[in-house]
Amino acid sequence: MNYRAVETAAEYVARLETGADWRAEIESLADAVDADAAWFTALGAVQDAELWFYDQDECEYHPIAFDEPLEVASCTGNVSWLDGERFAHTHAVLSDPDGEAVAGHLNEATVWAGEVHMRVFEEPLEREYDEVTELDLWL
Residues 71-114 pLDDT 10s:
999 999 999 999 999 999 999 999 999 999 999 999 999 999 99
In this prediction, residue 2 has a pLDDT band, given cuts at 50, 70 and 90, of: confident
Q: Which SS3 state, helix, strand or coil, does residue 30 take?
A: helix
pTM recorded for the entire structure: 0.94
Q: Per-residue pLDDT for 8 more than 90?
A: yes
CATH code, 24: 3.30.1330.80
Quote the CA–CA distance of 109 and 119 in Å, as a whole number.
22
Nearest to 79 by CA among 130, 132, 111, 41: 41
Q: How many structural domains does the chain have?
A: 1
Residue 63 has pLDDT above 90, yes or no: yes
Residue 3 lies in a domain: no
